[in-house]
Amino acid sequence: MPGHGFRGNPRQLWNAFRWSMLGLRAGWRHEASFRLEAMLAVVLIPLGLWLGQGALEKLALVAPAFLVLSAELLNSAVEAVVDKVSPEFHELAGRAKDMGSAAVFLLLVLMVLSWGLVLGARFL
């Protein structure tokens, strides 16, 4: 049907994929927190797919890991830009970094809560 589907050309799609892979590689190479959370995700994602009973439980166990990784990458991007623009300490720069860190923390709490609710309901 006209007007639906991907409007770009295959090269644009390939470039978007390539840039995403470069971003993942940069996160892995330069961010210890991302490496730690990625290693946790490598364990939790398959475990969540195995332990979850039904699609919604699987999603509740797996999705928070992807959200944590995504937020960590965004937080790292904010930190890199802040450091580039304002290498000396500034209250607003510190606030931006702290708020990015808080976003990652909240998603980690969501992950613990999701696992606790799903597994707790099953075993209690």
Residues marked active site are found at 72
Buried b (16+ CB within 10 A) or exposed e, 2-23: eeeeeeeeeeeeeeeeeeeeee
CA atoms of 36 and 22, how far apart (whole Å): 18
- Reading the block at residue 12, the tokens are 């644009």
